Structure 1
Amino acid sequence: MSEPFFFGYGSLVNRRTHDYAEAYSARVRGWRRVWRHTDMRDTAFLSVERDPDAEIEGLIALVPGGDWRALDVRESGYDRVALSEGLAHGATRPVAAQIYAIPSATGAPTLRQPILLSYLDVVVQGFLTEFGEAGVARFFASTRGWGPILDDRARPRYPRAQALSARERGLVDAALAPLGVRRVTG
């Protein structure tokens, strides 16, 4: 029998943002990470979309007792989708993993609905911890839909914002520079 796990590919990779203790580094084929905005909120979401040629890294974690309620609340605005194939992970038992995806994305981030830097910081901190600097580089290379970044580091708007070291902040800033995204304050 397979145990219920989620596949996190963004902020859920950062173990400091949740208390799902049994977690393993993982990757999944057939999905690509993408920044999107919807009418549901005033900032961009990090989501996934199907892409048979893509592979992304992330974290799988056991959902104790199959009780998805708290995670579904955290991930409101996303649909939970079963991963039927392409999952590789470090768990030593059968896993029935699900991934969260935005069902009705309307487009890339905009100045009205930017990417929060405090959100991106959390994601990158998680990838650095799980996969090292090479994993951070793969995160940026495998993520599409980059748009304007709202620099909210001084007053984070992201509810699970984390303190970053100077090294972590520098890593995020250096990875953003070649993308040519507009960085705004507000």
Structure 2
Amino acid sequence: MTHAYFFGYGSLVDQRTHAYAPTQPAKASGWARAWCATPDRNLCFLTAIRDANCAILGLVAPVPSQDWSVLDERERAYERHEASADIDHSAPGSSIAIYSVSDHRRSIPTAKNPILLSYLDVVIHGYLQEFGADGAAHFFSTTQGWEAPILNDRSDPIYPRSQTLGDATRQTVDSALARFGSTIINA
């Protein structure tokens, strides 16, 4: 029997943001990440994009009760794509999907739809937990769009799945944003 799984490459890597279990590390070849804006949301968020020269780390998790409706609702701005052939994993007998915003619905983020620092913090915490410092560095190097402005909402998080952070996560994020020369907007 084939089981349905999905590949998480952003906030889903921080297991504190969901109850999908069990998860396992995986790699999606032929994909990169990008920050994007869409007409569906007022803020910028991550999407997977096709890139033949890239591979991204993430987690695979089973679809609850083999019913996509809950995940499709959480990922409502995205389209679900069959990606089993692209994903290196250890989930036997599985079909794996990846969510991606379609090209025609993606735009470059601006100050009107910035990256939430509270969202980025959650993503990086997940990568540090699952893949260590090298995994966080890999996330930064395989994600496009760091010219997008960053809204510093740490003191009053806007991101609905924000989490408590340790100093190591904040330092990792802040150091990377400084290297990128990112524009930080105070909330």
1:99 aligned partner, one-letter code = I
- The equivalent of 2:122 in structure 1 is 122
Gaps in structure 1 of 5+ consecutive residues: none
2:18 aligned partner, one-letter code = H
1:179 aligned partner, one-letter code = F
Task: Return 168-177 or 118-127, whichever deviates more.
Answer: 168-177
TM-score normalised by length of structure 2: 0.95
TM-score normalised by length of structure 1: 0.96
Give SS of 2:160's match: coil
Question: For the residues of structure 2 that align with 1:120 and 1:105, how far apart are their CA atoms?
Answer: 22
1:141-170 C-alpha deviation (Å, 9 max, x unpaired): 000012100000011010100000112111
Gaps in structure 2 of 5+ consecutive residues: none
Question: For the residues of structure 2 that align with 1:90 and 1:31, how far apart are their CA atoms?
Answer: 19
- The equivalent of 1:170 in structure 2 is 171
Task: Return 6-15 or 78-87, whichever deviates more.
Answer: 78-87
Question: For the residues of structure 2 that align with 1:106 and 1:31, how far apart are their CA atoms?
Answer: 16
Question: For the residues of structure 1 that align with 2:113 and 2:64, how far apart are their CA atoms?
Answer: 34
- The equivalent of 2:152 in structure 1 is 151
Task: Return 100-109 or 57-66, whichever deviates more.
Answer: 100-109
Question: For the residues of structure 2 that align with 1:158 and 1:47, how far apart are their CA atoms?
Answer: 16
- The equivalent of 1:95 in structure 2 is 94
Given the superposition, is the C-alpha separation of residues 20 and 84 from structure 1 closer, same or farther in structure 2, using an over 3 Å criterion? closer
2:46 aligned partner, one-letter code = L
Question: For the residues of structure 2 that align with 1:106 and 1:27, how far apart are their CA atoms?
Answer: 24
Question: For the residues of structure 1 that align with 2:7 and 2:84, how far apart are their CA atoms?
Answer: 12
1:175 aligned partner, one-letter code = A
Question: Among the aligned pairs, what percent are the same residue?
Answer: 46
- The equivalent of 1:30 in structure 2 is 30
Q: How far apart are 1:73 and its partner, in Å? A: 1.2
| Structure 1 contact 148–183 (Cα < 8 Å) conserved | yes
- The equivalent of 2:80 in structure 1 is 80
Q: How far apart are 1:106 and its partner, in Å? A: 3.4
